[in-house]
Structure 1
Amino acid sequence: MSILHHSTFFTTVNHIKDLPKTAHPEIAFAGRSNAGKSSAINVLCNQKRLAFSSNTPGRTQHINYFTVGRRGETFGYLVDLPGYGYAKTPMDVKNHWNELLGIYMQERDQLKGMVLMCDIRRGFTDLDVEMINWFSPLAKPIHVLLTKCDKLSRNQAKQMLFAVEKQLKMMTGDWGTVQLFSSTERIGLEEATEVIAAWIEKHRVPTEQSSLE
């Protein structure tokens, strides 16, 4: 059984000062509103309602932490970042989110990798490219899930996969990988699970060294 299947909600963060004071590795999940981020987290963790998607896209502007581990021991965290790109999000909320995201991405040593959700029917949007260009200088891995791949034919999905792989390679070099993914049809589930679990296991710290306080 995957270590992701033992995930539980841990905390919600709305200010940098409230980020968990632990040394456990963190894997961030990012993506545009409606790209399928919450659905991906739920299916990866084999749960139905671990991560919630708001009925109003772009409304949730905080960071949600979920524990990853086994038998009561925490190995790391999945970090659900707010969806971006929703035009009707109030400017003050956008500014708060940009500040929170910027500090988290640039200064959080515990952040060991990012899973970026992209709707395969759209490919990389300008905001997705901005996110990648923001993150890639940190020399940490990025794994792109081309979500909703079941909405395209097999040939169309393969063509988009090839195009995105090429674009990602130009932006990240060897730090970026991409795959097809569908939460509803469970396509690519095993591959994504292996990538994320491997990142966590690679940076796992002993329990006695987990606190930074």
Structure 2
Amino acid sequence: MATPSNTASADIAPVMSDSDARSLGRHLGNVIRQIRLQHGLTIADISERASISRGMLSKIENGLVSTSLETLEQIANALGVTLSRLFRDYNIQTSSAQLVKHGQGMEVVRRGTKRGHTYHLLAYDQGPKKTFEPFLITLEDPGEEFPPFEHSGTEFIHMLEGEVEYKVGNETFLLQPGDSLTFRGEQPHRPERLVSAPVKFLSIIHHDFPDTPEE
């Protein structure tokens, strides 16, 4: 693995002013932090996977340093996304509304999920402190065993298709199309059994506001 660099890559530096470089650095840092937190990963997790120091990753996330495209690619690989994902929404006109067309939500992977267990994020790029995350979740394998999930905030589930027994704490609920379930995310929760597959539901997580990102 190549040694990370603190200087901007020669591929982009000649065509960028200092202010543009700082703006891009802040954007990249926010996107990296956002994706990391969405995946439930710490700075230590990503720095180990990307073979860079925790201190350097923290500086990158806070837009304090520029870095090479090679290092950004290592970070993107550690996050499980493409390099282009980090740049996707840079320098576009902002709007008071965000439209995600059918089938175009960003696909993300959570620790413990397997093939046939898909999350599509339906709204994103809301900055390092997000108020909510809406996911469209599809479960296709009736034989999959799901690990329990725990997270801060409140989760709201609305069933769209199929039937699933969903466990929250010590209770199990049969969810059918049109049913809704709300619970605190700190309780262990998971799909217990797919009664009728495929299962598709909306999961909206309302976040609390931590003072600082988890490191």
Shorter-chain TM-score category?
A: under 0.3
TM-score normalised by L of structure 1: 0.25
Quick one: higher RCO (CA 8 Å, sep 6+), 1 or 2?
1
> More strand by proportion, 1 or 2?
2
> More helix by proportion, 1 or 2?
1
